[in-house]
Amino acid sequence: MEVIVLRIAVASFSHETCTFCPNITTLEAWERGGIRYGESVLFTDREGPSYITGIKEAISSEKDVELVGILRTSEPATVGMGGWLTTEAFDTISDRIREGIKKEGNIDGVLLALHGAMAVTGVPRPEAEICRKVRRVVKKRPIMVTLDLHANEDIELANSADAVFILKTYPHLDSHEIGRMAARCMVETIHGKFGPTMAMQKPKIICASVFQASQSYPMKEVYSRCREWERKGVYCASVAPGFAYADVPDVGFSIFVVTNNDYELAEKAAQDLSSLVWSLRAELTRQLPKAKEGVTKVIEMVNKGVKPIVIAYHDDRLGDGTHILKELIKQGARNFCSTSIADPAVLNSLVKKHKVGDTVTVKIGGWVHPISGEPILITGRIEYLGGADWVETGPMGKGAKRHDNIVASLNLGDNNHVVISERLRAPMSADPLKAIGMDVDSLDIVEIKSRVHHKAFWDTWAKMDYPIDPPGTTPADLSTLHYENIPWDIYPIGEKWRK
Ligand SMILES: [Zn+2]
C-alpha cells in the first residue's frame, strides 16, 4: 500500500524593527546576515532550542509527514538594532518565500516562524502581508504562524492566518514549545481532527519592553490566566505585550486565542484576557530612574550590602551608549563591569598597535548617535584582546555555540572593567564574560545592555536587577518619542490620553 506523505512547508522571516534606530535595514544587510534555503532551513545543530526544533520534534513521531524547508533568515547585519526595513528587502524576501512554496508544488500546510514586530516602509502590516502572499499559493490549505511575545498584530493577521501561537515567556524560553504546539495543531488540522478557530482582541495599551518580564508582576498574572484558559479547553491562549519601538498602526498588546472549533470559548477567553490587561495598565507604564540618580541608588545599595546588583541599561539598542559608564566612573563605583561598549574602530586600533598588558588611553562609545551620550575617555590595562568562543550554559540559548571575532577588556583599577565589543553584546549569562577571563564573582555591579532576557541567568546570580532609563533609542518613558503612526486612543501616549 502506498503511504501518502503530507508535506508541510516551513519558513522563517523574523525581525524586531526599532523604527527609532537610525540605520535602515536593507536587503544587503539581510544577505550579509545570512539567508538559508531548502533543507538547510531545518538544520538546527548547536543552535539551541527554537521554533524550528519544536516543529521538528512534533513531526518526528509522524511517519506520514514531511517538513519542507523553504527559507530562513538570520539576524540582518546592522549596527545595533535595525531600523525600518526597506520595501525592497521585504518584497524580495517575502516573494522568495512565496515562490519557494509555489515551486514545491503539493504542499498541505505552511508553518511560518515570524516575529510580529517587523516594520517596513510602505507595508503597514508585514506579517499579515507575508501570509497573504502565501495564501495566494496555497489557497484554502492551513497557514499557521508563530510569533515572538514582542509582536504587534491585529485583525489583519487574524484574517490571513488560520492559527497564531505566541511565546508566553520573557526571557524567551518557550520557542521550542510554541513551535511544537503549532506543528501539532497543523498535523491534526490536516488530518481533519482539529478545526482551528480564533478570537482576537487588542487592548489599546503600549508599554516598554523593560516592564514585560513574564516572571514578574504584572505580566506573570496575565500568563497564569492564559494557562487557566488552556486548562479549561483553550488550545493556546496568547498575549503579546508588543514592541513599543516600532512606530506602526498595530502597535501594542495583541491577544490571540486558538480553540478547536469553539468560537464561544475563544471569544470569552480573549475578552477576559483583554480586560485583565487593561486593569494592569498603570503598572505596565510606570517610570524608571535616570542615569545619575539610578547609579547613585545602586552605589548606596551596594554600600549597604545589597550586592551584587545588575544594572539593566535597557534603552541602548545601538551598543555605543556611555551614560551609565560615565556615572559609574564619576560617582566612584568599585568592582564594576560595564559589559559592552560597541566600538569597532577602537578595537581595530588596539589590535593593530597593542597587546595584552599594555596600558592605553582611549575614547570609546558615543559614535553611532548623539542620544548614546558623549564618547568617554578611559585609561586602563588591556586584560583581554582577541576572539572569544563559548558554549552557552545559561537558560537562554542553552547549548548554543557562540563566537566573537574580536573583543577587548580594559582594567581601569579598583576592580573596574570595561568590555569593548564590535557590536552590542549583552551577556545572557556569565559565560561570555568568563570566556574573556573575567572573575565574575568578584564583581559588585554588572551593567548589561538588556531589558529582560538577561534575567533568565543573572537573576540567579544577583541580589537585584535594577533597570535604569538614561537617554536611549528605546526609553521606558514613551512620551519622549515622536510617533507618527500609532492609534489615537492607545494608552498612555495616544493623543486622547495626552489631553
Ligand atoms: Zn522578543
- How close is the Cα of 437 to the center of ligand 1, in Å? 30
- How close is the Cα of 209 to the center of ligand 1, in Å? 8
- CB proximity list for 148: less than 8 A, separation 6 or greater: 14, 16, 115, 116, 117, 166, 167, 172, 240
Phi-psi region of 335 (alpha: psi -120 to 50; beta: other; left: phi over 0): left
- How close is the Cα of 171 to the center of ligand 1, in Å? 8
Q: In the predicted model, is pLDDT for residue 2 greater than 80?
A: no
Count: domains in the chain: 2
- How close is the Cα of 448 to the center of ligand 1, in Å? 17
- How close is the Cα of 480 to the center of ligand 1, in Å? 22
- How close is the Cα of 212 to the center of ligand 1, in Å? 10
> Could you tell me the pLDDT band of residue 80, with boundaries at 50, 70 and 90?
confident
pLDDT tens profile 313-365: 999 989 999 999 999 999 999 999 999 999 999 999 999 999 999 999 999 99
- How close is the Cα of 440 to the center of ligand 1, in Å? 27
- How close is the Cα of 71 to the center of ligand 1, in Å? 21
Phi-psi region of 252 (alpha: psi -120 to 50; beta: other; left: phi over 0): left
- How close is the Cα of 194 to the center of ligand 1, in Å? 29
Mean pLDDT of the chain: 96
CATH code of the domain in which 64 resides: 3.40.50.2300
Distances (CA, A) of 405 to 20, 71, 105, 316, 423: 28, 27, 42, 22, 11
pLDDT tens profile 377-387: 999 999 999 99
pLDDT tens profile 29-63: 999 999 999 999 999 998 889 999 999 999 999 98
Residue pair 316/473 in contact by the 8 Å Cβ criterion: yes
- How close is the Cα of 492 to the center of ligand 1, in Å? 22
- How close is the Cα of 360 to the center of ligand 1, in Å? 38
Cis peptide before 427 (omega within 30 of 0): no
Whether residues 462 and 366 fall in one domain: yes
Whether residues 333 and 201 fall in one domain: no
Q: Which helix (H) or strand (E) holds 104?
A: helix 87-104
**Can you name the residues that pair with 69 across neighbouring β-strands?**
10
Whether residues 318 and 420 fall in one domain: yes
Confirm whether 487 is domain-assigned.
no
- How close is the Cα of 300 to the center of ligand 1, in Å? 32
- CB proximity list for 101: less than 8 A, separation 6 or greater: 9, 11, 70, 107, 110, 134, 137, 138
- How close is the Cα of 150 to the center of ligand 1, in Å? 5
Q: Burial code of 152-173, b = ≥16 C-beta within 10 A, e = fewer? A: bbbebbbebbbbbbbbbbbbbb
Rounded CA-CA distance 485/328 in Å is: 37
Whether residues 93 and 215 fall in one domain: yes
Query: What three-state secondary structure class fits 7?
Result: strand
- How close is the Cα of 230 to the center of ligand 1, in Å? 22
pTM above 0.75, yes or no: yes
Whether residues 229 and 308 fall in one domain: no
Confirm whether 498 is domain-assigned.
no
Rounded CA-CA distance 167/212 in Å is: 12
Q: In the predicted model, is pLDDT for residue 469 greater than 70?
A: yes
Whether residues 242 and 326 fall in one domain: no
> Could you tell me the pLDDT band of residue 1, with boundaries at 50, 70 and 90?
low
- How close is the Cα of 363 to the center of ligand 1, in Å? 32
Q: What is the grid cell recorded at 153?
A: 498584530
Q: Which of 156, 150, 14 is nearest to 85 (CA)?
A: 14
- How close is the Cα of 172 to the center of ligand 1, in Å? 7
Confirm whether 236 is domain-assigned.
yes
Whether residues 121 and 236 fall in one domain: yes
Confirm whether 493 is domain-assigned.
no
- The residue among 284, 305, 337 that closes a domain is 284
Whether residues 337 and 242 fall in one domain: no
- How close is the Cα of 148 to the center of ligand 1, in Å? 5
Q: What is the mean pLDDT of residues 474-486?
A: 95
Q: What is the mean pLDDT of residues 427-441?
A: 97
pLDDT tens profile 135-176: 999 999 999 999 999 999 999 999 999 999 999 999 999 999
Confirm whether 499 is domain-assigned.
no
C-alpha neighbours within 13 Å on the C-beta side of residue 23: 16
Confirm whether 495 is domain-assigned.
no
Q: What is the mean pLDDT of residues 469-479?
A: 93
Residue pair 5/66 in contact by the 8 Å Cβ criterion: yes
- How close is the Cα of 105 to the center of ligand 1, in Å? 33
Residue pair 381/411 in contact by the 8 Å Cβ criterion: yes
Whether residues 42 and 110 fall in one domain: yes
Q: Which of 448, 487, 143 is nearest to 314 (CA)?
A: 448
- CB proximity list for 362: less than 8 A, separation 6 or greater: 346, 349, 350, 377, 378, 410
pLDDT of residue 146: 98
Whether residues 227 and 332 fall in one domain: no
Distances (CA, A) of 68 to 24, 62, 64, 71, 302: 31, 14, 13, 10, 54
- How close is the Cα of 242 to the center of ligand 1, in Å? 9
Confirm whether 387 is domain-assigned.
yes
- How close is the Cα of 283 to the center of ligand 1, in Å? 20
Percent of the chain with pLDDT over 70: 99
Q: What is the grid cell recorded at 450?
A: 538588556
Confirm whether 488 is domain-assigned.
no
Q: What are phi and psi of 374, to 5 degrees?
A: -70, 150
Residue pair 242/206 in contact by the 8 Å Cβ criterion: yes
Q: What is the mean pLDDT of residues 261-282?
A: 98
- The residue among 251, 284, 317 that closes a domain is 284
Rounded CA-CA distance 175/53 in Å is: 9
- How close is the Cα of 232 to the center of ligand 1, in Å? 27
- The residue among 267, 284, 301 that closes a domain is 284
Query: Mutual orientation of helices 175-190 and 51-60 as an angle, nearest 10°?
Result: 40
Distances (CA, A) of 294 to 287, 312, 462: 12, 11, 17
Cis peptide before 471 (omega within 30 of 0): no
- How close is the Cα of 414 to the center of ligand 1, in Å? 36
Whether residues 220 and 82 fall in one domain: yes
> Given the C-alpha cell 532576557, which residue does it identify?
453
Where in the sequence is the domain holding 148, given as residue range(s)? 6-284
- How close is the Cα of 411 to the center of ligand 1, in Å? 33
Whether residues 79 and 204 fall in one domain: yes
Residue pair 297/466 in contact by the 8 Å Cβ criterion: yes
Residue 370: DSSP 8-state:
G
